[in-house]
C-alpha cells in the first residue's frame, strides 16, 4: 500500500521544537549558553588568560587616589644619591606640600577604612556640633603641618613656609593623668599644690599655660554650665598645655611627667614633693612647727623634716592638724 511505503503509520513521529523559556521570545542558539548562571553576563575568555586569581590586597594605593600628590608636581622617586640630611629635608618639604595641597582642595577626610572611631559629639552654646569629621581631620593636618614647618625652619636654611600658612597663636597639647592605673594617688593635689603654687611654678619655669581638664577636675556644684565646658568633662583627666612655641610646650610636658612619674614610683612617705607641699601649706596656714635640729624627748636623736624613731612614733613636719585635712585643702585649690 502506498501509505506504508511512505512511512505513514498514524503515529506522531515529528520531533518537537526547542522549548520556549518563560518571558523570552527568542530561542537559545546552542547548549553552551544554557550552562550560564542566571543574572551574569557571559564574559569572553580565552585559554591564554589562565585560571582566575583573586586580586591580592595591597597597602599601597593607586596613584590616582592621591589627588594631592598629582597636583604637587614633585618627584617621589629619588634616582640620585642623597645624604641623610638632604633626604630628611626633602621628605619634610614633600610632606608639607602634600598637606598644603590637601587643605587647598579640601581633601582632608581619608577613606572609610582609614578613619578612626568617631568621638562623642561636642556642641557649643548654640547647640551646633563643633567636632565634626571634617573639622577633626583638618585640625589634625594643620597641627601636623605646623610641627613639620617648625622643624623645617630649623634644619633647612632660608626655608619659607607655604603662602597660605598662618602660624597659630597658641600651640596646645594634652598630657593624660593615669588616674585609672593609680586610683589611690591624689594627682590633682600634687599638680596644683598648696594655693596652686606648684602649678604656678611649673607655668613660670616653662612659660606655658597649664590647665587641668577632664573627669574629676571640677568639684560637683562648682562647674560651669555651658555645653562646651561640660563636654570636656567627658574626657579622661588630663593637663591642657597652651603656649606660643613648641619648646615651651615640651618643657611643660617634662615638668608634668616628672610629677606623675615620681608619684607613681615612690611611696607617699618618701615623696619629697609631697613633703615640701605639706610644709608649705602648713606655713601658709600658720600651723607649721619647725622641729628640725631638735632632740627627741625619748632618745635624744636629732629630728629632721621627716623623722621616725624606734619608739613607734613619728610624723612628717608640717602635717599639723591632721593629714587628711591638709590633703583635702590641697585638693580643693
The pLDDT value recorded for residue 283 is 87
Q: Are residues 277 and 193 in the same domain?
A: no
Residue 3 lies in a domain: no
Residue 19 lies in a domain: no
Q: Are residues 227 and 276 in the same domain?
A: no
Backbone angles phi, psi at 118, to 5 degrees: -70, 135
Residue 117 lies in a domain: yes
| Domain range enclosing 134 | 70-155
Of the candidates 265, 300, 315, which is a domain's last residue? Answer: 265
The CA distance from 314 to 22, in Å, is 100
Query: 310-315: which pairs have CB atoms within 8 A and are 24 or more residues apart?
Result: none
Of the candidates 155, 184, 203, which is a domain's last residue? Answer: 155
**Do the Cβ atoms of 258 and 208 come closer than 8 Å?**
no
Q: Are residues 256 and 277 in the same domain?
A: no
Please write the tens of the pLDDT for every residue from 314-327: 444 444 444 454 45
Count of domains forming the chain: 3
Q: Are residues 109 and 179 in the same domain?
A: no
Of the candidates 124, 155, 186, which is a domain's last residue? Answer: 155
Between the alpha carbon of residue 195 and those of residues 80, 274, 284, 331, the distances in Å are 62, 14, 9, 10
Burial class (CB in 10 A: 0-12, 13-18, 19+), 276: middle
First to last CA, the chain: 128
For residue 12, pLDDT beyond 90: no
Between the alpha carbon of residue 22 and those of residues 18, 26, 243, 271, the distances in Å are 13, 10, 77, 89
**Do the Cβ atoms of 263 and 185 come closer than 8 Å?**
yes
Summarize the confidence of residues 109-138 as an average pLDDT. 84
Q: Are residues 175 and 260 in the same domain?
A: yes
Please write the tens of the pLDDT for every residue from 89-113: 989 999 999 999 999 988 888 877 6
Q: Are residues 174 and 261 in the same domain?
A: yes
Pick 279 or 28 by higher pLDDT: 279
Give Cα 205 to chain centroid, integer Å: 27
Site of grid cell 607655668: 203
Q: Are residues 327 and 280 in the same domain?
A: yes
Backbone angles phi, psi at 222, to 5 degrees: -110, 0
The CA distance from 221 to 204, in Å, is 30
Residue 164 lies in a domain: no
CATH number at residue 206: 3.30.1370.10
Grid coordinates belonging to 25: 521570545
287-314 burial, b at 16+ Cβ within 10 Å, e below that, comes to ebeebeeeebeeeeeebeebbeeeeeee
Q: Are residues 75 and 136 in the same domain?
A: yes
Pick 278 or 61 by higher pLDDT: 278
DSSP SS3 for 314: strand
Residue 163 lies in a domain: no
Residue 165 lies in a domain: no
Residue 210 lies in a domain: yes
Residue 125 lies in a domain: yes
The pLDDT value recorded for residue 67 is 63
Amino acid at each position: 500500500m502506498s501509505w506504508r511505503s511512505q512511512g505513514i503509520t498514524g503515529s506522531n513521529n515529528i520531533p518537537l521544537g526547542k522549548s520556549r523559556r518563560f518571558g523570552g521570545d527568542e530561542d537559545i542558539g546552542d547548549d553552551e549558553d544554557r550552562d550560564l548562571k542566571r543574572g551574569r553576563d557571559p564574559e569572553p575568555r580565552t585559554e591564554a588568560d589562565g585560571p582566575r586569581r583573586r586580586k591580592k590586597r595591597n597597602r599601597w594605593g593607586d596613584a590616582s587616589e592621591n589627588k594631592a600628590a598629582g597636583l604637587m608636581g614633585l618627584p617621589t622617586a629619588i634616582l640620585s644619591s642623597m645624604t641623610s640630611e638632604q633626604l630628611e629635608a626633602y621628605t619634610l618639604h614633600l610632606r608639607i606640600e602634600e598637606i598644603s595641597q590637601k587643605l587647598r582642595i579640601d581633601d582632608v577626610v581619608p577613606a572609610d577604612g582609614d578613619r578612626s572611631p568617631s568621638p562623642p559629639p561636642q556642641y557649643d552654646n548654640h547647640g551646633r556640633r563643633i567636632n565634626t569629621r571634617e573639622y577633626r581631620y583638618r585640625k589634625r593636618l594643620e597641627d601636623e603641618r605646623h610641627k613639620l614647618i617648625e622643624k623645617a625652619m630649623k634644619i633647612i636654611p632660608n626655608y619659607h613656609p607655604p603662602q597660605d600658612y598662618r602660624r597659630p597663636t597658641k600651640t596646645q597639647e594634652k598630657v593624660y593623668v593615669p588616674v585609672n592605673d593609680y586610683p589611690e594617688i591624689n594627682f590633682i593635689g600634687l599638680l596644683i599644690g598648696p594655693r596652686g603654687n606648684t602649678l604656678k611654678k611649673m607655668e613660670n619655669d616653662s612659660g606655658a599655660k597649664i590647665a587641668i581638664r577632664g573627669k574629676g577636675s571640677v568639684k560637683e556644684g562648682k562647674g560651669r554650665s555651658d555645653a562646651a565646658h561640660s563636654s570636656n568633662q567627658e574626657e579622661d583627666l588630663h593637663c591642657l598645655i597652651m603656649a606660643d612655641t613648641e619648646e615651651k610646650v615640651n618643657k611643660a610636658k617634662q615638668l608634668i611627667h616628672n610629677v606623675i612619674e615620681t608619684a607613681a614610683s615612690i611611696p607617699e612617705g618618701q615623696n619629697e614633693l609631697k613633703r615640701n607641699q605639706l610644709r608649705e601649706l602648713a606655713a601658709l596656714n600658720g600651723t607649721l612647727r619647725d622641729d628640725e635640729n631638735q632632740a627627741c624627748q625619748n632618745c635624744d636623736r636629732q629630728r629632721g623634716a621627716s623623722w621616725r624613731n624606734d619608739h613607734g612614733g613619728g610624723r612628717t613636719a608640717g602635717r599639723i592638724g591632721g593629714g587628711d585635712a591638709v590633703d583635702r585643702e590641697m585638693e580643693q585649690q
